[in-house]
Amino acid sequence: MSPSATALAGFAAWTLTLALMIGLYRSYFVLTGKRASNQFDPGGADVSEFSRRLCRAHANCYENLPIFGALIAVALITGKSALTDGLAMWFLAARIAQSVVHLLSTSTAAVNARFAFYLAQWMMMAVMAVRLLTA
């Protein structure tokens, strides 16, 4: 499998991992009788600050996965994954780093680091898009 395909599968797996974490976290509250299963706010803020950050980290993944997925799909379908392979795994690393920082802290330094990882992802996708459009 090419690095581009691996990164796309990795991004999907990371998104699923965050969803699983939400499910497990909420299941704890249901199974311990602290909450009914229909009493959770989708944004997670009603449970804890961590829950809110976890829900936002997950949402940020599914908001950005279609863009990355489209670029990688075009590269793979057209046989031009060499144009995205060099950045794809770096993109995945930045995506996971952004999520982890998001989960760990909301300090100014953490928010700045999170934004830097996010900006790096967008810059890499922009480079991929330009490469694909001009190849």
Torsion sign over Cα 96, 43, 46, 31: negative
- Report pLDDT digits (tens) over 62-98: 999 999 999 999 999 999 999 999 999 999 999 999 9
Give the position of tokens 């804890």: 48
Enter the tokens of residue 134.
Answer: 């001009």
- Measure the CA–CA gap between 99 and 38, rounded to whole angstroms: 26
| Predicted local confidence at residue 101, as pLDDT | 97
Higher pLDDT, 46 or 13: 13
Spell 96-112 as b/e; 16+ CB within 10 A means b: bbbbebbbeeeeeeeee
Percent of the chain residues topping a pLDDT of 70: 100
End-to-end CA distance of the chain, in Å? 22
Domain regions of the chain by residue span: 3-134
Q: DSSP states of 44-99 as a string?
A: STTT-HHHHHHHHHHHHHHHHHHHHHHHHHHHHHTT-THHHHHHHHHHHHHHHHHH
CATH, range 3-134:
1.20.120.550
Identify the pLDDT of residue 46: 77
pLDDT at residue 77, as a whole number? 97
CB 83 within 8 A of CB 43: no
> Hunting for tokens 């940020």 — which residue is that?
60
